[in-house]
Amino acid sequence: MIKVAVVGAMGYTGEELIKILSGHPGAEITVVADKLPDLPKNLKEIYPSMKDLNLVCENLDVPSVSKKSDVVFLAVPHKVSLTIAPEFLKLNKKVIDLSADYRIESKDVYEKWYNAEHTSSSYLKEAIYGLPELYREKIKNAKLLANPGCYPTTIILGCAPAMKEKLVSADSVIVDAKSGVSGGGRKFVQEYYKTDHPNHKPYSIAGKHRHIPEVEQELSKIIKEPVKITFSPHIIPTERGMLSTIYMTLNKKIDSKDLIKIYQDFYKNEPFVRILPNGELPKIRDVVNTNYCDIGLDIDERTNKLIVVSSIDNLVKGASGQAVQNMNIMFGLKEKEGLN
């Protein structure tokens, strides 16, 4: 059994990790931790639905957590992992970081977008970007895994086959994305339900969202030229689920049948990507509480645009489920273990 620690147990992704891992046949949660003044506390007091789990959420103590674990999930806010991850790595623990702190390869780019000094930039070369559909072989040997963001997961998976085949122009990517409120974290959700629900609203548009450099970095690698995207995220009045509609200018004429075949071939061995038949488009309700990414395709011949619709559960394939998928790969388990 893999001994697992979840650090950041009080957040949405920490809660989701505990739910998934508590039913994982190959893993045992040996410690849950956070940094809060009222800890330690029995987990069932925090999450009544977990009353069958005999776990105490303790205050984070890195040496103590390391003694009890083989792998540490860091479900902590951006900038917090900068100090915590190196401590665990020095104690020879595998680290799966769900923040953005090790996703961006350039120290300067990270500091520009996250408005903070990257104090552990020596680890950026060691970090593996944890999108299994693109980097499975590298993930197998990862010590520090940078789990992808939720929006980037939908966008990169939606664009990758078309970009690999050079079907689209690198400078033509426009993304209109919708997320359930849980993507903003607990504080955001509390404020939203107090003042805004059931509102549907855009935010961080016109090149302001911090997931942009992550997406551009990965898409540029696929198409082998610089990519710039126009990205407009929105909050929708539901707790979880995410759907991105992506528009790209076609470089060549292609019919829907051939397009779907390209996507099916690209993802033919991927257990969690489902390419929908011609004429079908993804719905959030079909992926909620699963680790699937559903992708639908269409072509607007009038404007010469490829339209890709990509949908995930932002807390599962967009965060905790993908993190467990990566753990399975890192420890040589079946990839779907604990995620069915």
Catalytic residue list contains 293: no
| CA–CA dist 14, 329 (Å, integer) | 20
The answer for residues whose C-beta is within 8 angstroms of residue 103's C-beta and 6 or more apart is 127, 129, 146, 148, 149, 152, 214
| CA–CA dist 140, 244 (Å, integer) | 29
- Pick the catalytic residue from 57, 150, 159, 293: 150
Which residue in 237, 320, 243, 244 sits closest to 286, CA to CA?
Answer: 243
Please give the DSSP secondary-structure letter assigned to residue 288: T
Side by side, the strands of the sheet bearing 27-34 are 41-42, 56-59, 27-34, 2-7, 71-74, 94-97, 144-146, 128-129
Which residue in 161, 140, 172 sits closest to 297, CA to CA?
Answer: 161
**SS3 label, residue 151:** helix
Q: CA torsion sign, 15 to 19 to 22 to 28?
A: negative
**SS3 label, residue 107:** helix
| CA–CA dist 231, 269 (Å, integer) | 29
Q: Which are the catalytic amino acids? A: 150
